[in-house]
Amino acid sequence: MKRESGERNYPIWIVFNPKHPISHDNWTPVLDEIQDNVYRTINNRIETTNIYFRTAVSDTRLVPNTLNWWGPEVAKEIDLFKETALVYKPRIILSLGAFAFEFLRRVYEIKPEKGPKAWSTSNLGDEFERSIKCFDINKTNIIPLLHRVEASANFIDTCKNFHRKDGENYYHYVGAKLAERIIENKDRLDIWIKTKVRFNECFRDSHRLHINIR
């Protein structure tokens, strides 16, 4: 697995546990919901090829467990990430799962530090709500998502525990909330597909050619 992909200077970052890579179970359905909401509202789409993906740590063996939580090797990874984030200053960092979220909290020195069992689905849901409510485009916003949503009957329980609302799909819920903040700050985020610009440029150039021919 590659440690990172995308562009570091892109405003949106995704940080995840290397034990749980990006898949159709965690990020892709959320992105689909964001794109759908964005397109329906402002008739544009996010340029997704440049989104910056990064594993929280470089090796799965460094992921802490209940017996060895946040050893010195992880502290080095936190310092490394902090140096990178201070240079590029992303506006939105989405964390997938409990480990990635607590990792980012320690990068940004958010207290108190939590243990391995602190970030249940419901607690991550509460932090998601808080981060959406307190969203500030002038700083880096850390927003937690789940690294996996269980299938079948467990899917309903996971959704309910995360957002405490009956009958609402997790992907639709978080995708719509994230889209709202992105749309509100659309002029402050350089994340958009430039198709309209290219079309206008082509139209202008063809119009000039038509005038010259006449």
Torsion of CA 127, 27, 188, 84, to 10 degrees: 80
Structure tokens, 103: 């990792």
pLDDT < 70 stretches in the chain: 1, 24, 66-68, 116, 150-167, 195-214
Q: Are 89 and 140 in contact (CB under 8 A)?
A: yes
Q: Given this model, what pLDDT does residue 211 score?
A: 47
pLDDT digits (tens, 9 = 90+) for 84-99: 999 999 999 999 999 9
Residue 96, classed as helix, strand or coil, is strand
Confirm if 122 and 161 have CB atoms less than 8 A apart. Answer: yes
For residue 60, the model assigns a pLDDT of 83
For tokens 């990430």, what's the residue? 81
pTM value is 0.85
Counted residue by residue, the chain has a size of: 214
What is the C-alpha end-to-end distance of the chain, expressed in Å? 58
Supply 37's token pair.
């909401």
Query: Is residue 87 classed exposed, middle or buried when 0-12, 13-18 and 19+ CB atoms within 10 A define those classes?
Result: exposed
Residue 46 is given by DSSP the state B
Map out the domains of the chain with their CATH numbers.
4-213 (3.40.470)
Beta bridge partners of 192: 46
Q: Rounded to whole angstroms, how far apart are CA atoms 150 and 196?
A: 39
